Amino acid sequence: MFIPFTVTMIPNYLTISALGLGDSLLGVILPQLGDALGIFLLRQSMRSIPGSLVEAVYLENAGHARIMGDIILPLTRPAVVSTGIIFFINSWNEYVWPVLILKSQSNYTLSLALQTYVSQEGGTEFTVAMAVSVMTMLPPLMLYVIFQKYIIDTFSMSGVKG
């Protein structure tokens, strides 16, 4: 969590380029999925599941996939949903990484497209730029408002219990 993005930027770029994902939205999204905050939240959520519950299901001859799908994922749903929303908001707000990865304007994210529009117009159409800025802000805001309960539950459950 304490490692800044500028330290991991070059290794991420080399990895994405080696995978052939440059100039694709998957190349923008993929490095955001291994965030330490998400790993911590999911770990804390999974630690709250009693081991005896998993062992009891395992003794019933359930496989690992069934244990994961029927027991662990339903119990950790708030953490999975809130982690997904946090990753989405972080990816949505990212500017530097898409500038490095995306080359064609057809793949630009909304923040890059807005910057391109403002720089091409010379910054004279402030009303249009502000309207587009508000429109780019709405999807993450709506997701947060809809799933706010899951996010608050996840952060309250990941704290230290004494």
CB 27 within 8 A of CB 103: no
Q: Which two tokens stand for residue 5?
A: 């993005």
CB atoms within 10 A of CB 151: 19
Structure tokens at 161: 């219990």
26, amino acid identity = L
Using pLDDT thresholds of 50, 70 and 90, give the confidence band for residue 160.
very low
DSSP notation for 17-45: HHTT-TTSHHHHHGGGGG-HHHHHHHHHH
pLDDT at 82 over 70: yes
CATH hierarchy code of domain 7-157: 1.10.3720.10
85 φ/ψ angles, rounded to the nearest 5 degrees: -70, -40
- With contact defined as beta carbons under 8 Å apart, do 143 and 89 qualify? yes
3-state secondary structure of 63: coil
Lowest mean pLDDT among 15-24, 65-74, 94-103, 116-125: 116-125
Q: What is the pLDDT of residues 31-77, one digit of tens each?
A: 888 778 888 888 888 888 888 888 888 888 888 898 888 888 988 88
- What percentage of the chain exceeds 70 in pLDDT? 93
Write down the domain spans for the chain: 7-157
